[in-house]
Amino acid sequence: MVEKGEEIMGQRRFPTQDELEQKREEMIRAAMQYGFSSVEAVKRSQELDRMLNNKCSRMSDCLSLGRRRFSVQ
């Protein structure tokens, strides 16, 4: 099984909005059950951070590409 953010045949896979929401819900459940600074909650928070960073890096790559493509010279 391919993990989120891993490469698939040379192309990086980015998390979907549903995957982000699912991880957020897992983080909230862990925080409510074990406490906000528990190992379980912090682990899920860090996983969500990585997923968001992957998605944001893709978006910024797209934005910078768009700026170069459509900039007036």
Dist. CA 3–CA 12, nearest whole Å = 10
Contacting residues for 40 by C-beta, under 8 A, at least 6 apart: 30, 33, 34
Q: How many CA atoms lie within 13 A of 23 on its CB side?
A: 18
Dist. CA 71–CA 67, nearest whole Å = 6
Model confidence pLDDT, tens digit, residues 18-42: 999 999 999 999 999 999 999 999 9
Cβ atoms of 20 and 44 within 8 Å: the answer is no
Model confidence pLDDT, tens digit, residues 37-62: 999 999 999 999 998 888 777 666 55
pTM: 0.64
